[in-house]
Amino acid sequence: MRRLLALLALSLAAWGAAHVPFFPDDAGPFVVDAPTVSKAYYLRSARGTVHAFLVPPVARSIPLQLLVIDDELGATLAHRVTLDCGDGPRELRAVDVAFFERFSGIAHRIRVADAMGPTATACTIEVSQIAGPPGPYTLSIGDEERFSLRDIAGLLTLNQRLERWRGGE
């Protein structure tokens, strides 16, 4: 038992600044529980697809990022991300920054980097693919690293789920 706990602790240390991964099976809308806790939503979209994320009020500023895989397909994808907290949609800041995720070994491009909060009302984040063929993207939100035992157990199948996400399965 001690070895198992030590292995799990090492896995989390190797995970580094990681997000709890989610691989939704449906088109949403997705309710973001505890938005300060770091999460990554691994989704696929096609031009014209809109994914909505419903975020409860937050007491402080939290980061938001949209990432694509840094490959030939990812280079063709463009997204628009808006945030609406009841005062009309605001387009989030577009960037183009290389990022290598050590745990998964996947090279990404950060295409949107911004923040939200503090907010007194619930907010909606909408992600629209505006160019390119169908492809994968990741929306990350929050910055508190907090993992449940279920999240830790999910590490055992994370690479398989990432490969299915990349391949469109």
In the prediction, which pLDDT does 10 show? 39
* Domain annotation for the chain: domains and CATH numbers: 2-167 (2.60.120.380)
User: What pLDDT, in 10s, does the model give residues 65-97?
Assistant: 999 999 999 999 999 999 999 999 999 999 999
* Cα–Cα–Cα angle for 29, 71, 125, rounded to 5 degrees: 20
Q: Which amino acid is residue 111, in one-letter code?
A: R
User: What pLDDT, in 10s, does the model give residues 24-77?
Assistant: 988 889 999 999 999 999 999 999 999 999 999 999 999 999 999 999 999 999
Whole-model pTM? 0.84
